[in-house]
Amino acid sequence: MKSQNEEKKYMPEISQKEINELRNSVKATSQRVIAENIERMKKTATNRPEEMQYFDEIANFVKREKEIRAAKENGKKVIGYMCLFAPTELILAADAIPVRVNSGWYDTSKLGDRIVPVEVCPVVRSTIGAKMIGLSPYLELSDALISVLTCDGMTKLGEILSDYKPVWSMSLPRVKDSDQSLRFWSEEIKAVKGQIEALTGNKITRKKLKSAIELTQKATKAFRRLQEIRKGSPVIMGRDAMLVNQTYMWDDIERWTEKTEALCDELEKRARQKIWACPPDTPRVMVTGTPMIWPDNWKLPTLIEEATPQGVLIADELCSSERILYDPVGVDEWSMDDMLNAIGERYLMASTCPCFTSEDGNEDRINWLLNKVKEWKINGVIYYVVRGCMLYAMEYTRVKKVLDRINVPVYYLDTEYTREDVGQMKTRVEAFLEMLTARIDI
């Protein structure tokens, strides 16, 4: 932990009294939002899976915060990360706890405005604001942060947070399809491995890394199983599935895997019995774009699934949901070098983040989107962008072109970290769903 007296590069000095007041009020709002979101999710889903109860519980940060705190008291270290490129297998192999710390709180984005202009991405502003008032249990409990230099916002976010915590920056090549990129990235992986070992005092042995990789592969299997089930008629609403995906970012990996498998058992049974979460002819929507983070930034999936006419979120291409665990680390030989190379490849090559480009542009994301539309039988795509999210905004034109070619409607929806524009968004989402319904009827 950095000394409190050290001069801060970015963060303003705020009185403890103001911090406490702000934290208490935002925390109260957050608890209310969590309860309300879950209530509304229960109301929307007819036959909501019973196994969702566990995820509802873990969605309320209280339980997990207690567990992590207790683990820390027993000497465990916590390593936070912002982008999905952080190699969590290495964290697990060092007996540390990985947690993702990006903030989904609307109210703290306004606090972030004290440090960076409103034009900056609200995910970044909100995370800064959350740190200012110590709101996020996972960010607070982190002993160090892994900051992968992806978009401009995330690059500077790590720098700003280094006012409080040790931040390990990992430089990411923007062109991934080349040998030198992979070599460079592998070196970054090795460097961060050294930092993790130094912080935890635990050596990452071959055996420990192997079991961490296997543990994560098991989680990936459950994660993929849930998505596979959603290819069929809806047995789970999109918001419920999104919550399951997202709780992985802070839950205990073994328990999460077990609970997700149990949920999938229940869902497969329902599919056999034809017990649907909503009418099977409900328009099937996919969302892609800026990450949507629990608990506040749940407004788009909520609007889609509560709209008239109703839609159901069947799939997403978001780094806050279906991108989290989809790709496993593939190892041939379980030597240390091989495992590290496999980790490097998985995090770099499999990513569809728009921070990449190449001779063909971000071809991987385009192909993956087209594949999802086809495999998950998507009727329409909502391209969701928050103000300041430059890379996603800029890739829209290309995505629209390829979706136009296969005659799948896509709508560009821009918004902010605010509750006030829900009315306007509703008009647009409902018009889009009305259009999809009309197409299905024809």
Binding positions for another protein, rule: CB under 8 A: 308, 409, 411-412, 414-415, 421, 423-424, 427-428, 430-432, 434-435, 438-439, 442
Q: Which is nearer to another protein, 177 or 434 (CB)?
A: 434
Residue 239 phi, psi (nearest 5): -65, -35
Distance of closest approach, residue 363 Cβ to another protein, in angstroms: 23
Distance of closest approach, residue 411 Cβ to another protein, in angstroms: 8
Tokens 């929307």 belong to: 44
CA–CA dist 273, 305 (Å, integer): 23
Q: Which is nearer to another protein, 12 or 423 (CB)?
A: 423
CA–CA dist 405, 396 (Å, integer): 14
Which stretch of DSSP H or E encloses residue 301?
helix 299-306
- Give residue 211's identity as a one-letter amino acid code: S
- Give residue 48's identity as a one-letter amino acid code: R
Distance of closest approach, residue 40 Cβ to another protein, in angstroms: 18
Q: Which is nearer to another protein, 159 or 414 (CB)?
A: 414
Distance of closest approach, residue 156 Cβ to another protein, in angstroms: 25
The one-character DSSP state at 300 is: H
Please say whether the beta carbons of 150 and 172 come within 8 A: yes
Determine the distance from the C-alpha atom of residue 21 to the mean position of all C-alpha atoms in its chain, rounded to a whole number: 29
Q: Which is nearer to another protein, 219 or 307 (CB)?
A: 307
CA–CA dist 80, 195 (Å, integer): 13
CA–CA dist 48, 186 (Å, integer): 43
Distance of closest approach, residue 64 Cβ to another protein, in angstroms: 35
Q: Which is nearer to another protein, 265 or 404 (CB)?
A: 404
Q: Which is nearer to another protein, 306 or 434 (CB)?
A: 434
Distance of closest approach, residue 390 Cβ to another protein, in angstroms: 15
Neighbours of 427 (CB within 10 A): 11
Distance of closest approach, residue 45 Cβ to another protein, in angstroms: 23
Radius of gyration (C-alpha) of the chain in whole angstroms: 21
Please say whether the beta carbons of 376 and 315 come within 8 A: yes
CA–CA dist 248, 223 (Å, integer): 9
